[in-house]
Amino acid sequence: MAKPIIFGGSRGKVLAVKIAKLTGFELGEVIVKSFPDGETYIRFMNDVKGRDVILVNSVHHKPNDILVELLFEIETLKDLGAKRVIGVIPYFAYARQDTRFNPGEVVSFEIVARMLERAGLDEIYTVDLHLHRVRDISEIFKIPAYNLTAVRDLVKYVSKHYKLEKPLIIGPDEEAEQWAKIAAETLGVDYDVLEKKRISAEEVVIEARTANVRGRDVIIVDDIISTGGTMAEAVKALKGLGARSVVATCTHALLVGEALYKILRAGAEGIVASDTIPSPVSYVSVAPIIANALMRRVGKE
């Protein structure tokens, strides 16, 4: 049987090369171009008939362009006779619009999931999906869906490259507790989350729920840095509470505007992210965890 073939879409080409190298799967070539009028052109250069196809594409920076590209790619692969289309979508946009906050609003997380399934996607692998009101990835996808985590590799990287004495893991808010816990278990250290406490009508302070931060080397763990506001505030609070040093980590470095600057200016010693979204602080690649997950299941039968 032909071995699986892996294609990198326009936000997945570098990861596709790395995953192909790690898995031994064939690296295919898909051409993606924009016409002068903004329409997307796509052409698969390899025969996919009867084969398991892995499609790597991360939906960020002009997410709508990538979403349309992804839907076109899935439909076309199916039309070209692919046996199964397995999507590797390291960063999955629209996950934060997961409920109708106000009447008349779009619930785009749900719609995007449906569109991918209807286009013919057979399986999906993603990394540290923003699950908040939706608690498990199986609540949002009807197809087999695997939510990997980059948190272990992120904190191992920090632990190796920064001189930390028994670090303390901190989640910047309650939602981040899920990742803080994984990070703490990985390094065998303790963790906590920050909370906003109202002191008076005018004054709010940010404190750790229970931990004493003073003199500690803190690693902040979160899923996304978008504008950097939450992270910068957390860094500032922790420095104010007496932390000796603070390193900020996240899986998805969206880094809108001056995010890095805000966090560094707030006093962070460093910022470390994964390459689900390539960025100047993407020191940790998710290629190995994706390759491992794929090798366990794809091309086995």
- Residues interacting with a second copy, by CB under 8 A? 8, 13-14, 17-18, 27, 36-46, 60-65, 67-69, 71-73, 75-76, 79-80, 93-94, 96-97, 102, 104-108, 111, 114-115, 118-119, 226-227, 254, 256-258, 260-261, 264-265, 275, 278-280, 282-283
Candidates 21, 62, 196, 197; catalytic one: 196
Distance spanning both ends of the chain, measured CA to CA: 9
Least distance between a second copy and beta carbon 222 (Å): 15
Beta strands, E only, 190-298:
191-198, 204-208, 217-225, 245-253, 270-274, 282-284
Compute the distance between CA of residue 167 and CA of residue 189 in angstroms, rounded to an integer: 7
Q: What angle do CA 153, 134, 187 make, to 5 degrees?
A: 20
Least distance between a second copy and beta carbon 76 (Å): 5
CA 54 to chain CA centroid, Å, is 18
Compute the distance between CA of residue 134 and CA of residue 148 in angstroms, rounded to an integer: 16
- Give 21 or 197: the residue with its C-beta nearer to a second copy: 21
- Give 191 or 283: the residue with its C-beta nearer to a second copy: 283
Residue 207's φ and ψ, nearest 5 degrees, are -140, 160
- Pairing state of beta strands 191-198 and 204-208? antiparallel
- Give 102 or 200: the residue with its C-beta nearer to a second copy: 102
Least distance between a second copy and beta carbon 188 (Å): 27
Q: Is 196 a catalytic residue?
A: yes
Least distance between a second copy and beta carbon 127 (Å): 16
- Give 17 or 137: the residue with its C-beta nearer to a second copy: 17
Catalytic machinery residues = 196
